[in-house]
Amino acid sequence: MAMRLSSRICLRQLLSQRRTLSMYYTESHEWVNVQGSLARVGITDHAQAALGDVVFIDIPEVDTDVDAGDEIASVESVKAVGDVSSPIGGIVKAVNEALSDTPTLINSSPEDQAWIAEIEISDVSVLDNLMDKAAYDAFLLQG
């Protein structure tokens, strides 16, 4: 009896964690942090490390309508230029203006302060195609 109760509690916790999952990742090294109907999009620590010191970022305009896979930004570093694709579709509701003045935020805080755009999600089902943190970490290990 105690074993069944313990199993039910663990299952409930797992289901609850899945419902509250907010960070998602793509194979092209973008991240999405979902908060209700809005999602912030940026590049991962892995992506910024590959780019090197970021010197410029071209951010999207507010009210731009984007589809999943559309280019929403361009990041220029001392050794490369990389396009940032939106993992989700929707309307850009806000952009991180701090990146215009301090593009190095991409290097110092890629998955927190250096979000690029905040997008109102048009179709949450697209999140099912993205990876959680554990899956993304495993993807990175595959090389």
How far lies 40's CA from each of 3, 102, 142, in Å?
41, 18, 27
Q: According to the model, what pLDDT value does residue 143 have? A: 74
Among the ranges given (18-32, 44-58, 82-96, 118-132), the one the predictor scored with the smallest mean pLDDT: 18-32
CA 67 – CA 87 distance, rounded (Å): 8
* Paired residues of 47 in beta bridges: none
Residue 28 scores a pLDDT above 80: yes
- Mean pLDDT in residue range 82-95: 97
Helix (H) or strand (E) holding 118: strand 117-121
- The residues that bridge with 117 in the sheet, in sequence order, are 41, 95
Confidence check: pLDDT of 9 > 50: no
Residue 16, pLDDT > 70, answer: no
Tokens 């609850």: give the residue: 16
